Amino acid sequence: MKTTGNIEFHPATSRGHADHGWLDAWHSFSFANWHDPERMHFGALRVLNDDTIAGGMGFGTHPHDNMEIISIVTEGALMHKDSMGNEGVIKAGDIQVMSAGTGVRHSEFNPDKEHRTKLFQVWLFPRERGEVPRYDQITLDPKDRLNTFQQIVSPDPDDAGTWIRQDAWFLLGKFDAGRTERYAIKRAGNGVYAIVVSGSAVVQGQELSKRDAVGISGVDALDISVGKDGAELLLMDVPMQLN
């Protein structure tokens, strides 16, 4: 059993930051005007943006292609409209997936003029390029992630959560103080990028506070110890080799 592996520690303060007034964005990997050659991607994980959108504001229609895009709304709501004919509201607790494939255009905005929206938006390189675009949106029960990891994304349409066109699994867990967990990597050769949504934890020996993250590869499992105030964690189990 491999126990240590390769560890990349990304403190919250090391992320790129852009405050546009209507949008306050933190970038774990190079994005838009923030470029760090040492922070281009973690395996198939290309973008992890931690966004806060002001009331009534949002992104106008813009294109994407050949990317698996996952949006995890943690506060408020997000109105979505795309060139595939999908239109609706993604609320806190919902998971949205858009496989951009050969190309799709969409817009996203906060429909509530009085309150902010907070979300993580994640981009993964797809397993194959040039696929037909697809869209999915699901609502999960947050109670199902108390003191366990709730799967929210996988490669299998018949598995829990929603699915994407990549050999990747996303999981959310909210744990009480002092708990210990062991997470088994889903696929040989995958690594895990873990971010602390709230609270604190020690992941594979690395101490993490709120919004700190760690990328770990070359292991079969992760050992996790939850801090004194509890912790909410997002795990992204992704291929380390790109096609």
pLDDT digits (tens, 9 = 90+) for 14-70: 999 999 999 999 999 999 999 999 999 999 999 999 999 999 999 999 999 999 999
User: Nearest 10 degrees: CA dihedral of 105, 96, 139, 224?
Assistant: -170
Mean pLDDT of the 211-240 span: 97
- Asked whether the predicted pLDDT for residue 1 surpasses 60, the reply is no
Burial (CB count within 10 angstroms: exposed 0-12, middle 13-18, buried 19+), residue 117: buried
> Looking at the domain assignment, is residue 12 inside a domain?
yes
- The number of angstroms, rounded, from the C-alpha of 112 to the middle of its chain's C-alpha atoms is 23
Q: How far is CA 86 from CA 64, 78, 121, in A?
A: 15, 13, 18
pLDDT at 120 over 70: yes
- Examine residue 1 and state whether it is found in any structural domain, yes or no: no
pLDDT at 2: 46
Tell me: pLDDT of 145 over 70. Answer: yes
In a domain, 195, yes or no: yes
Residue among 210, 184, 208 nearest 197 (CA): 210
| CA-based nearest residue to 161, from 101, 64, 234 | 234
- Which pLDDT value is given to residue 138? 96
Which CATH number characterizes residue 228's domain? 2.60.120.10
- Angle of CA points 7, 187, 130, to nearest 5°: 100
Q: Work out the percent of the chain whose per-residue pLDDT is above 70.
A: 98
- pLDDT per position as a tens digit, 175-201: 999 999 999 999 999 999 999 999 999
**Could you tell me if residue 56 is inside a domain?**
yes
Please report whether residue 171 resides in a domain.
yes
pTM for this model (two decimals): 0.96
Does the residue 130 lie in any domain? yes
Confidence of residue 3 (pLDDT cuts 50, 70, 90): low
Q: Is 180 a member of any domain?
A: yes
Give me the number of domains the chain comprises.
Answer: 1
pLDDT band at 5 (very low <50, low <70, confident <90, very high): confident
Which structural domain, as residue segments, surrounds residue 204?
6-239
